[in-house]
């Protein structure tokens, strides 16, 4: 018995010693930085982010990473080919380095020889990031939608929980798709997401009380699709879409999603009323978003006039002419007292550059508009050429955002509540699975190198077979439980009513002459 | 000794029955997936009965070698039997009843047929037996402990508690709007029969002689084995499809054609596999000489199967529609369960598409399973050196059909074969002989006269000094000489034999028609003489796309 006890104590002591391995006494110096995954070299991170655990590529059997703080204090981690950082130590390091750099020196045992790589820095920003994000996890499938979940993740550690997943009440007969989670002004007391097919409806949460709403009326194209909560009022703007999917035979884009019809509507939560905001003929309005002061509603729209109305249906023509679809960005002023909108103003005419702009997102200070731009269409999440662009709403200059784009799709971007962080999805890891990336956006309006959402195991993204989409920042976790959502989902949806407005009258478009600069 | 022989009789029979379904068991292993490591373990554990699923996935891999997987599962069943006998204190003929749950589990493995493509439970083929064994083992342990202090027969109570505590998710055979409850019977029979074991002990009847006991045991075991065999899904085409699929995956075209020639009434999937083999052995013009008519698969119940879900990825892949192959592999992985076969297809597609990072990802995942490492070793060199890809046998097959620069946006409506035929029948600007043949044969397959005439015109221009294959002459004399034809074949030098045979075909048809014989019957009567011609296929042949 005593012997066993000694063995346990020895083992614990060994584990304690190996938590901070020693730097090898002898090594050869390599004139390059290590090839680490995920790539955290020279990134700027929030002072409240989870540990940036990483692995080292190559024939590495052991490793030591020495982290040097601005006060010259050092600490080491590493075992095998991975550097797994203790959460407590990491947050102490971030606190000590806030506003400064952490120098990382990597020593790797390769082919029985220790090598020291050139150090790299991790800069710790002064500004924190919102403590939570939520996202949808979905297999990068095309039509099938088993095992969808909307999750919330604590950004300062690795805790991830389901907000809701479709397998709770899905069955073969009534499979359920879930999408478009959205919050009012980064809070979670007022939020929504959609359920499609089985037990369909919009799950609306007001003051942490969920209720299922049916937003489809006889006068609108569909139920609400892409949502945008008014920052302060109980209003949600939605697009309504008649959406179809088709598939590329050779292009690496693989999937094309198109709307054969779409409009923008406004839902008044208190009155349970839906009214049209924009429903112009030959216009495909989509992706509404509010300015942070709630005085403007931005949205995208593509002008599409039929050329072959007699020979093929509209869906067929859209498939034939898929490269002709170019979305521009517009906005309408909003009168909150009258719940009315002003005339449509051009914000950025991407079509004049033979481009297509989607998902406009205004920075919390109202200064910048972040948008995804690709050669055509609206489903940029599958377009390798899709990149993030930034428009300065003061100067109207638009530019491709430096440091964050890749040769693969970037999309579903969002601002943190303090405007210093951006989150978006990118397929840069392997061209097929979308992952979350976070980038620092400084006060000069410059974005810094983006880094992958940290995971406990650096190999996580290799084995994880689902994609991330629609990342949203949150100031707090969602309070309603998945079971409460499921319980509400089983009930019939409350039907919204339609209120007639003259959404076709504001047809005059004032061009604000956006200037396009391609970097 | 005799007792041992009788004890082993049923496991031996079960083992042999399993081996009779070796092709199916191998397909089961390819249709499932185990990934070693914490992530897969934790993910699996999140589902109901996750531990049994995880163990089931691990063991199902062993069906890669059907003899090995069959040994393991038979061993589990035999152990279940012995534990039951001891837990319930069975003796003599009573032991027979302990084979009933084993019989039920055996049937549950071999009776599902086409449901193997649709069942959503990973590791199904082992997980039920493993969870049942765990319940029986728990019962045995607890009963043994109880017996030390309290000599009571409460095994059945313990079993019920253990069974419900450890029960694997109850299998559901549900697809679209159809559910087969009969396939769930074994999972009801197995636990109920165990509970009945308690009652069996109350039966005081014993055969008068030891010899009689042996006869009863022997006959009962034979009945069990025969019933299990009869309940297994033995449809010829189902098994032939599996064998052909395995051969297509390995580019073993001779095997595919041999299977095709042995089939009397092939399914559409078998016909497509045959045509893939003909395509890649440059014998596509034999498409209608070999049987191109097809039937719907006999699923044994009302299950409606779709080629897209059974072999869509593979078919698209070998017709060089890489994006669509990838799509269906992904869809089937998501909709039903993660399958090694689909992961391999996705890796191959990614290599063909030059998406090497995602190919590497799939290979890393595959290398974490027990029996796919050699497959990864075979394909990995293609990631690192394009020369290895270009020299691979499947690339050599597919490459001539790859139109890298031609992209179209389309929808297949979940009908891959229909889409492929239409796609190639509509193909313009063909680039080589393989594409020419594919376009011509697709238009004939589709019975699209206009498309054939256009392709035939191009073919004549592309190969002016070469003899025109018999199939194309047969089709041209039928489709190209009418007034509506977009081409003029007045001076085309048809072979005299073909012209004569076509005249005979027409006169035979006319004479039978004049005799009042209906169209279908004429087809049946003319098949022996003209079944190898395109004319017969055009008028009487039926290919069912599903």
Alpha-carbon distance of A204 to A212, in angstroms, equals: 6
Nearest-by-CA chain A residue for B366 = A463
What's the confidence (pLDDT) of residue B202? 79
Q: How confident is the model over A429-441, as pLDDT tens digits? A: 999 999 999 999 9
Evaluate whether B340 touches B33 at the Cβ level (below 8 Å).
yes
Q: Determine which of B41, B306, B334 to mutate to test the interface with A (most A C-beta atoms within 10 Å).
A: B334
What's the confidence (pLDDT) of residue B5? 72
Residue with tokens 């003319």: B526
Q: In B, which residues are within 8 Å of A462 by CB distance?
A: 361, 364-365
Cβ–Cβ below 8 Å for B361 and A462: yes
Instruction: Give φ, ψ of B201 to 5 degrees.
Output: -65, -25
| Residue A309 tokens, joined | 């109305």
Nearest chain A CA: its distance from B123 CA (Å): 18
Mean pLDDT over A123-131 rounds to 98
Q: In A, which residues are within 8 Å of B355 by CB distance?
A: 252, 430-432
Q: What is the mean pLDDT of chain A?
A: 92
What's the confidence (pLDDT) of residue B169? 82
- Please provide the DSSP assignment of B29-80 as one string: HHT-----SHHHHHHHHTSTTHHHHHHHHHHHGGGGSHHHHHHHHHHHHHHH
Pairing of strands A43-45, A227-229: unpaired
Mean pLDDT over A92-100 rounds to 98
- Smallest Cβ–Cβ distance between B406 and the set A144, A171, A250 belongs to A250
Measured CA angle at A48 (ends A46, A53), to 5 deg: 85
What's the confidence (pLDDT) of residue B215? 85
Task: Please give the DSSP secondary-structure letter assigned to residue B328.
Answer: H
SS3 at position A15: helix
Q: What domains are there in chain B, each with its CATH number?
A: 2-233 (no CATH), 237-401 (1.25.40), 429-540 (no CATH)
Task: Please give the DSSP secondary-structure letter assigned to residue B17.
Answer: H
Mean pLDDT over A392-415 rounds to 96
Task: Please give the DSSP secondary-structure letter assigned to residue A337.
Answer: T
Q: What are the extents of the domains in chain A? A: 18-124, 132-499
SS3 at position B500: helix
Alpha-carbon distance of B126 to B276, in angstroms, equals: 34
Cβ–Cβ below 8 Å for A462 and B364: yes
Res. A514 pLDDT band, cuts 50 70 90: very low
SS3 at position A275: strand
Q: In A, which residues are within 8 Å of B176 by CB distance?
A: 172
What's the confidence (pLDDT) of residue A260? 95
Evaluate whether A225 touches A240 at the Cβ level (below 8 Å).
yes
| Lowest mean pLDDT across A15-29, A311-325, A495-509, B64-78 | A495-509
Res. A518 pLDDT band, cuts 50 70 90: very low
What's the confidence (pLDDT) of residue B264? 92
The fold for domain A18-124 equals Immunoglobulin-like (2.60.40)
Nearest chain A CA: its distance from B365 CA (Å): 6
Cβ–Cβ below 8 Å for A463 and B39: yes
Q: How far apart are the first and last CA of chain A?
A: 71
Nearest chain A CA: its distance from B330 CA (Å): 6
Q: In A, which residues are within 8 Å of B362 by CB distance?
A: none
Residue A395 neighbours by CB distance under 10 Å: 10
Q: How confident is the model over A3-39, as pLDDT tens digits? A: 555 555 555 544 454 579 999 999 999 999 999 999 9
Evaluate whether B81 touches B221 at the Cβ level (below 8 Å).
no
Nearest chain B CA: its distance from A459 CA (Å): 10
Residue A172 in this model has a pLDDT that exceeds 80:
no
Q: Determine which of A250, A252, A458 to mutate to test the interface with B (most B C-beta atoms within 10 Å).
A: A250
Residue B14 neighbours by CB distance under 10 Å: 27
CA B473, B475, B481, B487: dihedral to nearest 10 degrees? -90
Cα–Cα distances in Å, from A336 out to A192, A228, A230, A277? 21, 15, 10, 13
Polymer length of chain B: 546
Q: In B, which residues are within 8 Å of A166 by CB distance?
A: none
In tens digits, chain B (546 residues) has pLDDT values of 566 677 788 999 999 999 999 999 999 999 999 999 988 998 899 888 899 999 999 999 999 999 999 999 999 999 999 999 999 988 888 888 999 999 999 999 999 999 999 999 999 999 999 999 999 999 999 999 888 887 777 888 889 998 888 887 888 888 877 889 999 999 999 999 998 888 887 787 777 777 787 888 889 899 999 999 999 999 999 999 999 999 999 999 999 999 999 999 999 999 999 999 999 999 999 999 999 999 999 999 999 999 999 999 999 999 999 999 999 999 999 999 999 999 999 999 999 999 999 999 999 999 999 999 999 999 999 998 889 999 999 999 999 999 888 899 999 999 999 999 999 999 988 999 999 999 999 999 999 999 999 999 999 999 999 999 999 999 999 998 887 889 988 889 999 999 999 999 999 999 999 999 999 999 999 999 999 999 999 999 999 989
Nearest chain A CA: its distance from B169 CA (Å): 14
A132-499 belongs to CATH 2.120.10.30:
yes
Task: Please give the DSSP secondary-structure letter assigned to residue A395.
Answer: T
Alpha-carbon distance of A43 to A508, in angstroms, equals: 46
Q: For the whole prediction, is pTM greater than 0.90?
A: yes
Cβ–Cβ below 8 Å for A431 and B358: yes
Buried b (16+ CB within 10 A) or exposed e, A200-235: bbbbbbeeeebbbbebbbeebbbbbbbbbbbbebeb
Sign of CA dihedral A104, A105, A109, A115: positive
Q: In A, which residues are within 8 Å of B338 by CB distance?
A: 465
Nearest chain B CA: its distance from A195 CA (Å): 18
Nearest-by-CA chain B residue for A427 = B358
């Amino acid at each position: 018995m005593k012997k066993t006890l000694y063995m346990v104590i020895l083992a614990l002591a060994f584990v304690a010693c190996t938590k901070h391995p020693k730097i090898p006494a002898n090594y050869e110096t390599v004139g390059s930085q290590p090839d680490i995954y995920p790539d955290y070299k020279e990134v700027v991170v929030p002072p409240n982010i989870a540990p940036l655990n990483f692995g080292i590529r190559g024939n590495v059997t052991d490793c030591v990473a020495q982290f040097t703080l601005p006060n010259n204090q050092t600490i080491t981690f590493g075992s095998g080919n991975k550097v797994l950082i203790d959460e407590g130590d990491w947050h102490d390091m971030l606190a000590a380095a806030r506003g400064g750099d952490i120098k990382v020196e990597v020593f790797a045992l390769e082919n029985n020889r220790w090598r020291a790589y050139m150090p790299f820095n991790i800069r710790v920003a002064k500004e924190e990031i919102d403590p939570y994000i939520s996202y949808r996890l979905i297999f990068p499938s095309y039509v099938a939608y088993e095992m969808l979940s909307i999750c919330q993740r604590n950004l300062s550690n690795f805790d991830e929980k389901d907000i809701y997943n479709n397998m709770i009440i899905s069955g073969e007969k009534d499979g359920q798709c879930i999408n478009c989670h959205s919050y009012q002004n980064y809070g979670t007391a007022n939020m929504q997401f959609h359920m499609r097919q089985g037990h369909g409806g919009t799950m609306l949460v007001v003051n942490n009380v969920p209720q299922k709403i049916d937003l489809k009326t006889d006068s609108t194209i569909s139920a609400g699709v892409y949502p945008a909560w008014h920052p302060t009022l109980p209003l949600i703007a939605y697009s309504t879409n008649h959406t179809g999917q088709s598939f590329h035979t050779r292009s690496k884009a693989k999937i094309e999603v198109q709307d054969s019809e779409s409009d923008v509507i406004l839902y008044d939560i208190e009155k349970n009323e839906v009214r049209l905001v924009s429903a112009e003929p030959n216009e495909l309005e989509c992706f509404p978003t509010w300015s942070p002061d709630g005085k403007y509603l931005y949205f995208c729209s593509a002008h599409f006039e039929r050329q072959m109305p007699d020979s093929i249906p509209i869906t067929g023509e859209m498939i034939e002419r898929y490269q002709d679809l170019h979305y521009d960005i517009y906005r309408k002023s909003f009168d909150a007292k009258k719940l009315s909108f002003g005339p449509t103003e051009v914000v950025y005419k991407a079509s004049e550059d033979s481009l297509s702009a989607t998902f406009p997102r205004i920075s919390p200070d109202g200064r910048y508009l972040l948008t995804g731009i690709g050669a055509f269409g609206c489903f940029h999440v599958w377009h390798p050429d899709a990149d993030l662009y930034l428009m300065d709403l003061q100067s109207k200059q638009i530019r491709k955002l430096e440091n964050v784009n890749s040769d693969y799709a970037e999309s579903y971007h969002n601002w943190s509540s303090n405007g210093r962080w951006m989150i978006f999805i990118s397929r840069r890891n392997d061209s097929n699975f979308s992952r979350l990336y976070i980038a620092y956006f400084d006060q000069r309006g410059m974005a810094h190198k983006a880094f992958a959402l940290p995971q406990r195991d650096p190999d996580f993204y290799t084995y994880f077979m689902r994609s991330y989409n629609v990342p949203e920042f949150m100031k707090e976790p969602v309070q309603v439980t998945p079971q409460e959502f499921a319980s509400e989902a089983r009930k019939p949806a409350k039907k919204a009513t339609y209120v007639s407005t003259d959404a076709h009258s504001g047809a005059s478009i004032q061009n604000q002459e956006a200037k396009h600069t391609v970097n | 000794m005799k007792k041992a022989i009788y004890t082993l009789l049923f496991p031996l029979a079960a083992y042999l029955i399993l081996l009779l379904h070796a092709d199916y068991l191998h397909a089961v292993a390819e249709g499932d997936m185990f990934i070693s490591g914490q992530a897969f373990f934790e993910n699996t554990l999140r589902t109901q009965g996750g531990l049994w699923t995880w163990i089931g996935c691990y063991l199902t891999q062993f069906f890669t070698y059907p003899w090995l997987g069959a040994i393991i599962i038979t061993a589990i069943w035999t152990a279940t039997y012995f534990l039951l006998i001891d837990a319930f204190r069975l003796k003599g003929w009573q032991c027979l009843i302990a084979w009933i749950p084993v019989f039920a589990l055996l049937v549950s493995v071999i009776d599902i047929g086409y449901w193997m493509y649709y069942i959503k439970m990973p590791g199904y083929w082992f997980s039920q037996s493993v969870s049942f064994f765990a319940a029986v083992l728990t019962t045995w342990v607890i009963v043994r402990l109880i017996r030390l202090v309290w000599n009571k027969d409460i095994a059945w109570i313990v079993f019920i508690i253990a069974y419900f505590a450890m029960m694997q998710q109850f299998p559901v055979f549900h697809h679209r709007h159809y559910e087969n409850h009969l396939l769930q019977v074994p999972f009801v029979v197995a636990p109920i029969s165990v509970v009945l074991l308690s009652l069996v002990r109350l039966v005081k009847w014993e055969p008068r002689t030891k010899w009689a006991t042996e006869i009863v045991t022997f006959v009962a075991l034979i009945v069990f084995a025969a019933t299990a065999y009869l309940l297994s899904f033995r449809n010829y085409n189902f098994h032939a499809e599996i064998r052909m699929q395995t051969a297509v995956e390995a580019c073993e075209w001779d095997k595919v054609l041999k299977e095709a020639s042995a089939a009397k009434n092939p399914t559409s999937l078998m016909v497509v596999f045959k045509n893939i083999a003909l395509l890649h052995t440059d014998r596509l013009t034999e498409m209608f000489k070999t049987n191109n008519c097809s039937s719907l698969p006999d699923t044994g119940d009302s299950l409606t199967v779709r080629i897209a879900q059974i072999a869509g990825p593979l078919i698209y892949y070998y017709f060089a529609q890489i994006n669509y192959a990838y799509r269906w592999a992904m869809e089937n992985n998501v909709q039903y369960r993660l399958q090694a076969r689909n992961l391999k297809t996705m890796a191959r597609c990614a290599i063909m598409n030059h998406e090497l990072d995602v190919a590497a990802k799939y290979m890393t995942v595959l290398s974490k399973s027990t029996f796919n490492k050699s497959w990864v070793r075979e394909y990995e060199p293609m990631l690192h050196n394009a020369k290895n890809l270009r020299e691979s046998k499947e690339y050599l097959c597919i490459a001539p059909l790859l139109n890298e620069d031609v992209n179209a946006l389309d929808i297949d409506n979940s009908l891959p074969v229909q889409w492929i035929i239409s796609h190639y029948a509509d193909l313009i600007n063909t680039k080589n002989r393989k594409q020419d043949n594919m376009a011509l044969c697709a238009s004939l397959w589709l019975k699209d006269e206009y498309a054939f005439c256009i392709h035939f015109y191009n073919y004549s221009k592309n190969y002016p000094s070469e003899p025109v294959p018999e199939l194309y002459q047969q089709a041209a004399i039928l489709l190209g000489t009418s007034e509506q034809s977009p081409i003029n074949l007045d001076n085309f030098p048809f072979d005299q034999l073909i012209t004569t045979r076509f005249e005979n075909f027409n006169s035979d048809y006319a004479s039978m028609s004049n005799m009042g014989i209906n169209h279908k019957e004429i087809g049946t009567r003319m098949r022996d003489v003209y079944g190898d011609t395109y004319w017969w296929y055009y008028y009487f042949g039926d290919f069912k796309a599903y």
